[in-house]
Amino acid sequence: MFGSSSGMEGWMAREPITALVMGPGRWEWSSLTRVRDHWSVAGKGVLDFPPGTADDPAERIRRLRAAVPGGIGRLVLGVPSDQMLLRVIRIPVTADDELPGVVRLQVDKFSPFPADTMSIAYEVLQRGAGESVVLIAGARDEDLNAFAGPLRTAGLTPDRLDLNLLAWWHVYRLSGKPQPAGRQVFLHLSDSQVEMVIQEDGVPVVFRRLDVVASGEPDPWVDDLVQDIQHILLSIELERGATGRLSAVVWTDAEVPALESRLKDLFPHGVQWEKGDEQSTVSQGLALRAVEPAAVSMDLTPPAWRTAGEQVLFRRRMILASVAVVVVWLGLLVGPYGGVWLQRALLKQLETRHAAVRDPALEVRDNRRRVSVIRRYLDNRLSSLECLREVSERMPAGVSLGQFIYRKGESLRLSGDAQTVEQVYDFKRSLDASEWLRESSLTGPSYDARKKLHTFEIDILLPGEAE
């Protein structure tokens, strides 16, 4: 379940490293080779696959092998962030051997998928005197198998799975341009997605892919992008407080005047625009992260892939053993006993094949049940901020709230007081008219002689829990 890069140190000194970014219609790669006591760039390039050409993984791998000087060596494959669950957490300083257990507990809290069906990795972003900042990444094994399946089927299994978002951030951080103080937002715009990193006093606190496609007419997607940024900044401000310096860096090759104007109003301390070769930067970052194992630990390679070579060797040995059994059986002419022996061996092979396909079949059976869970997880209408906005808009004059207790995906409890009983009932009727806060129950009102007010409690069941 957990990935680790500790196994990479053994092969880094012996073989070249090739990092690969697979995009729609093109592959970008960067290759590093060891020269004495340091690594140097052996080459980088782009393989284009125009629309209408055959989608043959074997042919694409043949072209990649021909393009990389000195051979592919060990392969680092970049995974797009749209297949990831990402979360930055702060935990007390923990021993390295206890971190996997802590990460497992955190994943159980925010992941809609069972942990045993996922590949989970983590990376320590900062170790302080009293706490550590840790980035957790998780992806379903099913998604990773579908993403890298064509490579593995064609005989090229990646030795490491890293995140494209982290690779881009790694290269930009090495440039020394991020500000060491204040809150700084980094936006990475491409034709297919928008990715965001937010750092606080030099330490990342958010890694996220935004559901905005930065292409087509600018007005619709610029409005969506700015609104998403505002919501995220508001959430961070509620959690961490206001900051004295708020700035942004935008990485894009396209000029978007509408976005420039909107971001100037949003970030009072300036917006910096960067241009560059996006894909080669990402592939270069993947390769550089692979040769820094002391500082980097993120590796989402499923454990089953790590044992693929051992399984191939095991199967070869089984074939040789089967041949030897047949030869011995024929040589000794022990027909009945040899027949039983051979049948047992065949039965064992069939049982092994059955065990290999059983778990994927069970995962497919569970997909329908998980769809509703995923939809609720991605429904921003039921976030704490949206609930607070809805309650505030429907609260009549004369009513004040003392408590607002939100349980994600479960319930919402409100408690407060009002000047008159009728104000409480007006508040209850207003909530009943809401599209998704109408399942509520009222406790009270009761008169508080000390406050000379009518107190009440309202419990609201958030939708979706009856499924």
Each residue's pLDDT, cut to its tens digit, for the chain (467 residues) gives 665 444 444 444 568 999 999 887 889 999 998 888 788 888 899 998 887 666 788 888 888 989 998 888 889 999 988 878 899 988 898 888 888 888 888 888 888 888 888 888 998 888 888 888 999 999 998 999 888 888 888 888 888 899 988 888 888 887 777 778 889 998 888 766 788 899 988 888 999 888 776 555 656 778 888 888 999 999 888 888 888 888 898 888 777 788 888 888 888 888 888 876 554 578 888 988 888 765 556 888 888 887 765 666 577 778 878 877 777 767 665 556 656 777 888 888 888 888 887 878 777 777 766 766 666 666 666 778 888 888 888 888 888 888 888 887 788 898 999 988 898 888 888 888 887 776 888 888 888 888 888 899 999 888 764 44
Could you give the CA distance from residue 265 to residue 263 in angstroms, rounded to a whole number?
5
Could you give the CA distance from residue 276 to residue 104 in angstroms, rounded to a whole number?
37
pTM of the model: 0.61
Tens-place pLDDT, residues 54-76: 678 888 888 898 999 888 888 99
Give me 192's structure tokens: 């297919």
Tens-place pLDDT, residues 410-430: 888 989 999 888 988 888 888
At 195, the amino acid letter reads E
- SS3 at position 450: coil
Q: In whole angstroms, how far apart are CA 183 and each of 19, 135, 188? A: 31, 18, 17
Q: In whole angstroms, how far apart are CA 253 and each of 166, 167, 214, 279, 286? A: 19, 18, 11, 11, 21
DSSP assignment of 265-297, as one string?
HH-TT-EEEE---HHHHHHHHHHHHHT-TTT--
- Shortest CA distance to 209 belongs to which of 231, 187, 184? 187
Domain positions in the chain are: 307-378, 382-461
In the 3-class helix/strand/coil scheme, how is 78-103 assigned residue by residue? EECHHHCEEEEEEEECCCHHHHHHHH
Could you give the CA distance from residue 167 to residue 165 in angstroms, rounded to a whole number?
5
H or E segment to which residue 165 belongs? helix 164-174
DSSP assignment of 348-403, as one string?
HHHHHHHHHHHHHHHHHHHHHHHHHHHHHHH-GGGSHHHHHHHHHHHPPTTEEEEE
Was domain 382-461 assigned CATH 3.40.50.300? no
Tens-place pLDDT, residues 101-148: 888 888 888 888 888 888 889 988 888 888 889 999 999 989 998 888
Residue 376's φ and ψ, nearest 5 degrees, are -65, -35
Sign for the CA dihedral angle at 429, 433, 437, 441 comes to positive
